[in-house]
Amino acid sequence: MQNGNPVLNTIRAVLEREPHINLHRWPVNLNLTDNSVLIMEGDVESIAAKKRSLELVEEISEVRGVINRLHVAPTEHKSDGEILGALETLLLDARDFKNCSLSVVKKGQTLALQEILDDDASGNIVASVDAGVVTLDGWVISLSHKRLAGVLAWWVPGCRDVVDALEVLPPEQDTDDEVTDALLLVMEMDPLIPHPEQISIHTHDFVVTLEGLVSSETEKNRAEQNAWYVFAVDKVVNQLAVSR
């Protein structure tokens, strides 16, 4: 970061006020190009920190663009092969992808896991991993499928980031209801959320609010994490109560 740059000082001050971001424990490298494009690099503690960092700096008028190279520090360190293997299992086990062609890229070669050749196929997903970053290419039939695939990738231990490049065919208009529907599906699939029916989800302007009752702080945090994982969610308000 360029010392003494007033714009960068403003950016740092804004980031330091965000509860999800801890610049002292997880320092972020900030550089501003001559055309006022901000480059952010480094590891952050959570997907919430990554998303909030991007949203906050985009609101600063002096910043004309952002290159976000932030990654989430994994709680477990895994090789790319281990990450890809775990993702294979999750995709093959997910009932919503039973009618999707699934492939993975290993050592530059695309290997088919599941081929659906009929006209009723609901997608063709190609997954690859590089330095802990999962990339999803191909197409799916709905935004819910796109979001679910992205969340499954985030669930894999060792994942540092997810590039969800899946195309939705035919294209759908994204809405708050689409986000809510996808997150309901994610909660129902998550084995760490034993009673998803007790969680109420409301989405407004892509801000998700969680209400209801959960059995532990761990479950409360997991539910919030799932919401942050969902593609296009800008903010999460966690009002879940923990039963005593």
Q: How far is CA 103 from the centre of its chain?
A: 21
- Hunting for tokens 């299992």 — which residue is that? 89
What's the domain count of the chain? 3
The reply to whether the predicted model has a pTM over 0.85 is: yes
Co-location of 89 and 159 in the same domain = yes
| Residue 1 forms part of a structural domain | no
Q: Give 81-134 pLDDT, tens digit per residue.
A: 999 999 999 999 999 999 999 999 998 999 999 999 888 899 999 999 999 999
User: Residue 16 sits in a domain of what CATH number?
Assistant: 3.30.1340
Tell whether omega for the bond before 170 is within 30 degrees of 0, i.e. cis.
Answer: yes
Q: Looking at 168, 188, 222, which one is the last position of a domain?
A: 168
Residue 15 confidence (pLDDT) above 70: yes
Co-location of 23 and 68 in the same domain = yes
Residue 3 confidence (pLDDT) above 60: no
Q: Looking at 72, 103, 127, which one is the last position of a domain?
A: 72
d(CA 167, CA 181): 18
Q: How confident is the model at residue 244 (pLDDT cuts 50, 70, 90)?
A: confident
Predicted pLDDT of residue 1: 44
**Rounded average pLDDT over 46-75:** 94
Residue 2 confidence (pLDDT) above 70: no
In one-letter notation, the amino acid at residue 208 is V
| Residue 185 forms part of a structural domain | yes
Q: Looking at 168, 197, 217, which one is the last position of a domain?
A: 168
Co-location of 160 and 198 in the same domain = no
Co-location of 163 and 120 in the same domain = yes
The whole domain housing 160 covers 80-168
Q: Give 62-95 pLDDT, tens digit per residue.
A: 999 999 999 999 989 999 999 999 999 999 999 9
Name the 3-class secondary structure at 24: coil
